[in-house]
C-alpha cells in the first residue's frame, strides 16, 4: 500500500451540527486505511449551490473559493464527506479554471483578507479517495465479514452529476459504491430507481417538506420491497433526509412503518474492520441500528 495521503478535512455544516457520530467514524476509519486528515482552520459553509448560488453567484463563488484557498495555503487538496459540498467545490474550481477573469474577480475579493489563491488545490470526495486505494487493498483490512447483511446503496445526485465534472466513468449505472460495500462481505441489493434523488437537495427539504418526504418514501418503499437491512449513503445531507423523513412520515401515519437504519460508508467499513460500535457512532442513530447489527455473524 502507498504511503499515507494527507488532506484538508472540510466538515461542512450538517455533519458537525447534526451527525458527530458520522464525523467520528470518518476520523477513526480513514487513518487506518492510509488517509490522514488535517483540520481546515477558518473554514465556513461551502456554500450550497442550490440555495446561495441562486441568489448571488459571485458571493457563492467567493465563499467556495475561500475554503479552497485555505486548503491551498495548507498545501493539501480538500476532502469532504458531503455530496453537496463536493459539488460546490468542483463547480467553483471549474468556473475559475475555465474563466480566468472569474479567478481575478475572486482574487480581488481576497486582497483585503491577505489570502492568495491560484486554484491549485483539488476537491475530493472521501469515497473517491477510498476507492482509489483499490478493492484488493481494502479487502485486506476486513477482519469481520458482514455476511448476510443486505444493503440498499444510495449514491446521491451531486456525487455523480454533472458527469463531465466528476472523476467517475460516464455511465447511467455506476458500481463503485456497490463494490466498496461488497468488499465488506455485505450484499448490495438492487432496487427500483436506485439512482433517484433522496428528495432533500435544491432547498426542497427546507421549502416543501411534504414533497421532500414523498420522494424519500418512494425510495424507502423500493428498498423495503427487496428486504434491505439498512440504507447506506455517503452524504451527510442525504443521511439527514432518510432519517428525518422516516420519523416525520411515521408520525403522520401514527405507526412505525419506516424503521430502516441509515448508515454512512465509513461506519460499514469500520464494522468490517472489527471496530467497536462506539468508535463508529453506531449507538447514536435516530433509527436504532441493532436490528441491522443482529444480522451480522459473530
The predicted-structure confidence for 243-281, as pLDDT tens digits, reads as follows 999 999 999 999 999 999 999 999 999 999 999 999 999
Domains and CATH numbers, the chain: 5-125 (1.20.1050.140), 135-293 (3.40.50.11810)
pLDDT at 114 (0 to 100):
86
Mean pLDDT of the chain: 94
Neighbours of 85 (CB within 10 A): 31
Per-residue pLDDT band for 4 (boundaries 50, 70, 90) equals confident
Q: Kindly write down the DSSP assignment for every residue of 6-73, as one continuous string.
A: EEEEE--SHHHHH-HHHHHHHHHHGGGGTEEEEE-TT------IIIIIHH-HHHHHHHHHHHHHHHHH
Phi, psi of 209 (to 5 degrees): -60, -40
Residue 46 contacts residue 67 (beta carbons within 8 Å): yes
pLDDT at 103 (0 to 100):
97
Higher pLDDT, 242 or 4: 242
Per-residue pLDDT band for 93 (boundaries 50, 70, 90) equals very high
Per-residue pLDDT band for 51 (boundaries 50, 70, 90) equals confident
Condensed to tens digits (0 to 9), the pLDDT of residues 218-232 reads 999 999 999 999 999
pLDDT for 1 beyond 50: no
Q: Residue with C-alpha cell 454533472?
A: 162
CB under 8 A, 24+ apart: contacts of 89-97 = 89/10, 89/46, 89/64, 89/123, 90/123, 90/165, 90/166, 91/49, 91/64, 91/165, 92/60, 92/61, 92/64, 92/65, 92/68, 93/68, 93/119, 93/122, 93/123, 94/165, 95/61, 96/61, 96/65
pTM (2 d.p.): 0.95
Average pLDDT over residues 102-117: 93
pLDDT at 3 (0 to 100):
65
pLDDT at 159 (0 to 100):
96
Per-residue pLDDT band for 57 (boundaries 50, 70, 90) equals very high
pLDDT at 287 (0 to 100):
94
pLDDT at 298 (0 to 100):
75
Higher pLDDT, 50 or 56: 56
Condensed to tens digits (0 to 9), the pLDDT of residues 277-291 reads 999 999 999 999 999
Higher pLDDT, 206 or 22: 22
Cell numbers for 233: 449513503
Cell numbers for 37: 486528515
Residues 6+ apart with CB under 8 A from 89: 10, 46, 64, 67, 68, 78, 80, 123
Higher pLDDT, 3 or 292: 292
Residue 250 contacts residue 282 (beta carbons within 8 Å): no
Amino acid at each position: 500500500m502507498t504511503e499515507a495521503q494527507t488532506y484538508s478535512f472540510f466538515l461542512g455544516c450538517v455533519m458537525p451540527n447534526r451527525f458527530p457520530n458520522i464525523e467520528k467514524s470518518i476520523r477513526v476509519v480513514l487513518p487506518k486505511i492510509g488517509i490522514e486528515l488535517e483540520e481546515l482552520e477558518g473554514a465556513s459553509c461551502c456554500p450550497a449551490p442550490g440555495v446561495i448560488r441562486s441568489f448571488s453567484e459571485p458571493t457563492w463563488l467567493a465563499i467556495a473559493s475561500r475554503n479552497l484557498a485555505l486548503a491551498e495555503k495548507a498545501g493539501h487538496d480538500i476532502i469532504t464527506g458531503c455530496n453537496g459540498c463536493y459539488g460546490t467545490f468542483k463547480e467553483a474550481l471549474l468556473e475559475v479554471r475555465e474563466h480566468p477573469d472569474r479567478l481575478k474577480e475572486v482574487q480581488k475579493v481576497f486582497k483585503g483578507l491577505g489570502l492568495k489563491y491560484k486554484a491549485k488545490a483539488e476537491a475530493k470526495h472521501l469515497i473517491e479517495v477510498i476507492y482509489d486505494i483499490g478493492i484488493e487493498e481494502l479487502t485486506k483490512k476486513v477482519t469481520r465479514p458482514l455476511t448476510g447483511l443486505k444493503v440498499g446503496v444510495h449514491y446521491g445526485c451531486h456525487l455523480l452529476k454533472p458527469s463531465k465534472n466528476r472523476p467517475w466513468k460516464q455511465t447511467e449505472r455506476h458500481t463503485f459504491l456497490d463494490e466498496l460495500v461488497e468488499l465488506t462481505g455485505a450484499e448490495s441489493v438492487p432496487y427500483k430507481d436506485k439512482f433517484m434523488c433522496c428528495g432533500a437537495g435544491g432547498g426542497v427539504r427546507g421549502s416543501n417538506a411534504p414533497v421532500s418526504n414523498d420522494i424519500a418514501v418512494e425510495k424507502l418503499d423500493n428498498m423495503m420491497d427487496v428486504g434491505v437491512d439498512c440504507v447506506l449513503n455517503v452524504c451527510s445531507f442525504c443521511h439527514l433526509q432518510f432519517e428525518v423523513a422516516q420519523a416525520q412520515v411515521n408520525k403522520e401515519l401514527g405507526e412505525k412503518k419506516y424503521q430502516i437504519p441509515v448508515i454512512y460508508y465509513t461506519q460499514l467499513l469500520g464494522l468490517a474492520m472489527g471496530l467497536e460500535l462506539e468508535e463508529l457512532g453506531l449507538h447514536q442513530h435516530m433509527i436504532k441500528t441493532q436490528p441491522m447489527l443482529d444480522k451480522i455473524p459473530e
